[in-house]
Structure formats: C-alpha cells, structure tokens
Amino acid sequence: MESTALLLGRRTFEEFAPVWPSMDDQFAHYNALPKYVVSTTLSDAEVAVNPWGDCHRLASIDAVRALTETEGGPIIVHGSGELARSLAEAGLVDRYHLLTFPVVLGAGERLFPAEGPGLPPLRVLEDRVFSNGVRATVFGVVREG
C-alpha cells in the first residue's frame, strides 16, 4: 500500500529528520511525502525548519482525525509507539504492518496495552516469512457494524 503522508511522534521525528534525507534505499520515497509530527512540545517553527523538507506540526489526536478526513490516502506511522497507541484508542488505525523478529528480549514496550480497551479485533491480510526468520504480517482492524 502506497502512503500519501507520514505521521510521526516527536521522538521519532527528532531521530528520523537528521538522517532520513540521505536515505537511498527502499524507503527514500518518504522524503517526497508530506510529514506530520504530533507534538505538544515542539513549535511549528521547530518542525518546519529541518533538513527533511515538507513537515507540519499537529497538536492533538483531533488534528490527526481532521487530517485523515482531508488527506485522501493512506497515512503511515513508523515507530512512534505512544502515538500508535493513542491513534488506536481514537479508532484511527485501519491496518497494522508488523515485523516480528526471532529474538527473545527481557523487557520492552507493549504495542497493545495490558489494561483498558486492549487489542481490537484483527484479521490477517498478508503474512510472509523471510529467509532470516523475520515475519511480516499485515493485520486489518475489523470494524463493528
């Protein structure tokens, strides 16, 4: 699925913006996309003045909702776990593209909260395993009604 915009949380934006403009691999096309940063701590000027180009600040999940009603195509979120959880709670996630790596970790952040509304009903749309054991799965959120 081709995305028409990139949505990032503040921390992910601060990590991506300095290095992403020099990417020349399969993700280089993100450089041409409009980028939206959900942040209450960065200013519009801090977001606009960066080496990554077309970037805009959104101050709330309501602003993201308004964007989804006007953007006209898929908006992708990379990283930004806290943002992804907030979007899910607001019912703004249609698909999850997840990579599962065959490693064991002692700790980490959960994508889906242990308490609260929990995991939405999901349906597997795509699933493939690469030769290195990494599994790429696309889940669609099942909407009720």
For residues 11 and 67, state if they share a domain: yes
Higher pLDDT, 114 or 107: 107
pLDDT for 38 beyond 90: yes
For residues 65 and 120, state if they share a domain: no
For residues 66 and 111, state if they share a domain: no
Provide the CATH number for the domain around residue 29. Answer: 3.40.430.10
For residues 1 and 54, state if they share a domain: yes
For residues 60 and 124, state if they share a domain: no
- How many distinct structural domains can be found in the chain? 2
For residues 65 and 135, state if they share a domain: no
pLDDT for 134 beyond 80: yes
Please tell me what DSSP assigns to residue 116: T
Q: What rounded mean pLDDT belongs to the chain?
A: 88
Question: What confidence tens digit (pLDDT) does each residue in 113-131 have?
Answer: 777 666 778 999 999 999 9
For residues 105 and 86, state if they share a domain: no
pLDDT for 112 beyond 80: no
For residues 19 and 52, state if they share a domain: yes
Phi first, then psi: give them for residue 73, nearest 5 degrees: -160, 180
pLDDT for 27 beyond 80: no
For residues 72 and 100, state if they share a domain: no
The domain of 124 spans 94-145
User: Best-predicted range by mean pLDDT among 15-19, 35-39, 111-115?
Assistant: 35-39
For residues 71 and 107, state if they share a domain: no
What stretches of the chain show up as alpha helix (H) in DSSP?
10-16, 44-48, 61-70, 81-89
Of 90, 119, 137, the position where a domain reaches its end is 90
pTM across the whole model = 0.83
For residues 22 and 60, state if they share a domain: yes
Under DSSP, is residue 62 helix (H, G, I), strand (E, B) or coil? Answer: helix
